[in-house]
Structures are given as C-alpha cells and as structure tokens.
C-alpha cells in the first residue's frame, strides 16, 4: 500500500515543482521540464530529475534550481501537505536527448541498409 501512496506523492510533487519553476523563473529561451521525482519512503529527501533543452547549459539550470531549493520547497509545501517537507536535490536527466539521438541513428541505419528483393506476389520465402 505504501508503494501506491508514494507513487501518488511523487506524481503530485512532480506536477507542483514543475508548475512553480515555470512560473517563478525566467529560463532565457530554454525549456526546463521536471521528468521525474523520487521521494524517499520517510518523505525526508527527494530527487528531482530535470530535462533541459535550449540556450542554457544543463549545469546552469541545475545550479539555479539548487541555489533556490529553499524557495521551491517552501512554495511546494504550501500546496502539498506532507508529514515532512522533502529536501530536494536536482539532477539533470538527458534521456530526451539520448532518445532523439537513438531515433536519428535508427533512421540512418534504415536509410543505409540494402533493401531485400521483393518476392513476386503469391510466392513465399523458402527459408521461412
């Protein structure tokens, strides 16, 4: 049962942190998105995984979020009432960038592979 509750807390924290950092900070042409939140079972600590696309370097975004951690925690604690307010740690998640690179690689492979000859209609591959 604790797993389902923790999943709900993680999702609620993700939504509230994301909404707050979008409203409270100017990201100078950079898209900053909260991709995941992992709160410990005792609700004392939480890792916030952040995706960054745009002008600012991921390290700059993480530094800004970490510097303003107290403000973010206070704002979120007013909207999400928990026994403890988790101490947040911000981490960069580059899975979106890796995903785009993987799709591009697969497209490149598909375009450069020799095409198998087509069998006349009605014939089947003898190796199958």
Query: How far is residue 59's CA from residue 91's CA, in Å, rounded to a whole number?
Result: 9
Q: Provide the phi-psi class of 13: left if phi over 0, else alpha when psi is between -120 and 50, else beta.
A: alpha
Burial (CB count within 10 angstroms: exposed 0-12, middle 13-18, buried 19+), residue 24: exposed
> The pTM is what?
0.73
Average per-residue pLDDT for the chain: 87
Each residue's pLDDT tens digit, 114-124: 776 666 776 66
Reported as a pLDDT band with limits 50, 70 and 90, residue 104 is confident
Each residue's pLDDT tens digit, 57-95: 999 999 999 999 999 999 999 998 888 889 999 999 987
């Amino acid at each position: 049962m604790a797993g389902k509750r923790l999943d709900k807390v993680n999702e609620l924290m993700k939504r509230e942190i994301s909404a707050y950092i979008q409203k409270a900070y100017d990201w100078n042409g950079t898209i900053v998105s909260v991709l995941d939140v992992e709160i410990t079972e005792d609700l004392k600590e939480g890792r916030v995984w952040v995706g960054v696309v745009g002008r600012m370097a991921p390290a700059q975004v993480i530094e800004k979020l970490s510097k303003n951690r107290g403000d973010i925690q206070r704002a979120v604690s007013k909207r999400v009432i928990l026994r403890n307010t988790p101490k947040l740690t911000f981490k960069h998640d580059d899975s979106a960038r890796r995903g785009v690179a993987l799709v591009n690689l697969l497209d490149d492979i598909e375009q450069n592979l020799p095409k198998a000859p087509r069998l006349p209609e009605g014939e089947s591959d003898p190796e199958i």
